[in-house]
């Protein structure tokens, strides 16, 4: 198992003070910045683009930026995010006409490619492409909004994807996104996730460090058990 990564989603941050919020959450012990990009087309919401990613880099953020693209089409925007300082770029297979090509494009742009599975997307979508990925992101809510409830069937799916990743033998991260809280993160870790996105659970709490510490402790206990 790879070291645990906690990736707060900026979707729940105070956008009027985004730089400070990201600094605060990283100082509180977060590992990555989860950067949710929505286009009001692939998902019914609109957020931020490459300009804001590059503004965070200019602000001095050096932590990995984990760009979650909820946009269609995907390919045209990949280079812009690579130039803006993205570390990982993940996309939804339904949003790209040529999934394998998009993966190659992300890699060629110098970023780590990830594929995102919606709650109803079958795990077979990973066939023939898993070997090319650095990350599989399982959605445990339908994409578009923060603050939704965790969908339980994601646990079963995590176990299935964990088996595939272990069989593949490469250090591919298994990330979960949606409704992750201190009281369910243990079960999520036990099902095989090693990378945890949390928006409202972290940014909605008064003490970011306290929540992140609790999450890490729950993951450590679940993985030991």
Question: Is 80 designated active site?
Answer: no
Query: Which does residue 184 bind out of ligand DX5, Zn ion, none, counting CB within 5 to 8 angstroms by kind?
Result: none
Query: Which does residue 179 bind out of ligand DX5, Zn ion, none, counting CB within 5 to 8 angstroms by kind?
Result: ligand DX5
Listed ranges 33-41, 56-64, 99-107, 119-127: which one lies at the site for Zn ion (CB under 5 A) = 33-41
CB closer to ligand DX5, 85 vs 146: 146
Beta carbons of 188 and 155 less than 8 angstroms apart: yes
Other CB atoms within 10 A of residue 15 CB: 12
Q: For the chain, how far is it from start to end, CA to CA, in angstroms?
A: 14
Angstrom distance (rounded) from CA 7 to CA 115: 16
User: Is residue 177 involved in binding ligand DX5 (CB under 6 A)?
Assistant: yes
User: Is residue 201 involved in binding ligand DX5 (CB under 6 A)?
Assistant: yes
Other CB atoms within 10 A of residue 31 CB: 18
Place of tokens 């990283």: 26
User: Is residue 37 involved in binding ligand DX5 (CB under 6 A)?
Assistant: no
Site for ligand DX5 (CB under 6 A): which residue of 79, 160, 200, 223?
Answer: 200
Place of tokens 């950067």: 35
CB closer to ligand DX5, 81 vs 163: 81
* Binding-site annotation, residues for substrate: 9, 68, 144-147, 177-179, 199-200
User: Is residue 5 involved in binding ligand DX5 (CB under 6 A)?
Assistant: no
| Separation in Å, CA 104 to CA 22, 78, 80, 101, 134 | 30, 11, 15, 5, 12
Question: Is 183 designated active site?
Answer: no
Nearest residue to ligand DX5 on Cβ basis: 199
Site for ligand DX5 (CB under 6 A): which residue of 6, 11, 22, 154?
Answer: 11
Angstrom distance (rounded) from CA 222 to CA 225: 5
Closest C-alpha to 119, from 86, 99, 96, 144: 144
Per-residue x/- track, 72-111, ligand DX5 (CB under 6 A): ----------------------------------------
Which residues, at least 6 apart from 12, have a Cβ–Cβ distance to it below 8 Å?
A: 146, 147, 199, 200, 202, 203, 204
Binding residues among 137-176 for ligand DX5 as defined by CB under 6 A? 141, 143-144, 146-148
Q: Which residue numbers are catalytic?
A: 36, 177
Residues near Zn ion (CB under 5 A): 36, 68, 177
């Amino acid at each position: 198992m790879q070291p645990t990564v906690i990736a707060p989603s900026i979707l729940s941050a105070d956008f009027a003070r985004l730089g400070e919020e990201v600094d605060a959450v990283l100082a509180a012990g977060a590992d990555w910045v989860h950067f949710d990009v929505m286009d009001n087309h692939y998902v019914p919401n609109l957020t931020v683009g490459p300009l804001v990613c590059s503004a965070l880099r200019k602000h001095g953020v050096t932590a990995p930026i984990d760009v979650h693209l909820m946009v269609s089409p995907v390919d045209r925007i990949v280079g812009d995010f690579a130039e803006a300082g993205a570390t990982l770029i993940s996309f939804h297979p339904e949003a790209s006409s040529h999934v394998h090509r998009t993966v190659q494009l992300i890699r060629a742009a110098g970023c780590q490619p990830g594929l995102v599975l919606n709650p109803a997307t079958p795990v077979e979508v990973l066939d023939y492409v898993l070997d090319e990925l650095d990350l599989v992101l399982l959605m445990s809510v339908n994409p578009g909004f923060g603050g939704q409830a965790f969908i339980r069937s994601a646990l079963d799916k995590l176990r299935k994807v964990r088996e595939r990743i272990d069989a593949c033998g490469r250090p591919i991260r298994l990330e979960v996104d949606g409704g992750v809280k201190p009281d369910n993160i243990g079960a999520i870790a036990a099902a095989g996730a090693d990378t945890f996105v949390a928006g409202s659970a972290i940014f909605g709490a008064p003490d970011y460090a306290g929540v992140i510490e609790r999450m890490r402790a729950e993951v450590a206990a679940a993985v030991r058990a």
